Copies of this chain bind each other. A is one copy, B any other.
Amino acid sequence: MPVKKAKVLRKAKGEYHHGDLKTSLKQAALRLVRDRGPRGFSVNEASRLAGVSVAAPYRHFHDKDALLAEIARDGYELLEREIRKSVEKVGNLREQIVESGMAYLRFARNHADYFSVMFQSGLDRSKYPEIERSARNGFGVIVGLAQQYERTPELAELRAVSAWALVHGLAGLDQDGALSSAAGKSRTLEQLRPILERFVDQPYN
């Protein structure tokens, strides 16, 4: 879990300027989302966590939604990076597709805070084009793989949409705990790999 050195989360007591309040606020918000769910976050509380006054955030974000939107965008970018990294690790195209899906599932589990801001915060995406753009970039990776994998653009699109829906659905259900087997035992991500492999090995034509 690479966490960029030891960042300043709280402002030092005697200081006036924080140094990197914008980043701190996003981290504080993410922590609140992690601890109290996607709705359990408030600007005021994030301010307190960062050790500044409640008005300070408004020097960096137009409003609460703008803060959330920026976190969402960060999330999409992080997701895309992680997918690309996973894809680069293997040579075989089939494996690349499987790994991109596994990366999606890992992201949803390891960065559940980002994931819930991205998909469960009820943000009005149409108001933040940069989110749309980042999301589309990420999806582009999947589309690219599908295009290499399928013969026609139509089949590629079908494959890409199906793949995205499958991993997105798995990720969502996993986060809701709906995938834990009857006994309540949680599932390893590796246990989901066969689902992806089956999907990839299904011929489209």
Contacts and interface: CB of A to CB of B under 8 A. Distances in A.
Interface of A: 37-40, 116, 119-122, 124-126, 135, 139, 158, 161-162, 164-170, 172-173, 176-179, 194-195, 198-199, 202, 204
Contacts of A202: 198, 202
A109 B3 CA distance: 40
15 contacts: A37-B124, A40-B122, A120-B120, A125-B176, A126-B177, A158-B198, A161-B170, A161-B195, A162-B195, A164-B178, A165-B169, A165-B170, A166-B166, A166-B169, A167-B169
A161 B174 CA distance: 11
- Within the oligomer, what is the number of copies of this chain? 2
A60 to B, nearest CB: 22
Given A158-B194, A166-B166, A172 B39 contact: no
Contact of A120 (B122, B126, B204): B122
A90 to B, nearest CB: 23
A162 B168 contact: no
Given A158-B195, A194-B158, A204-B198, A37 B165 contact: no
A168 B173 contact: yes
Contacts of A162: 166, 195, 198-199
Which of A37, A116, A162 has the largest number of chain B CB atoms within 10 A? A162
Contacts of A172: 119, 165, 168-169, 172
A80 B120 CA distance: 23
A187 to B, nearest CB: 9
A173 B166 contact: no
Nearest to A118: B176
A124 B39 CA distance: 10
Which of A178, A194, A204 has the largest number of chain B CB atoms within 10 A? A178
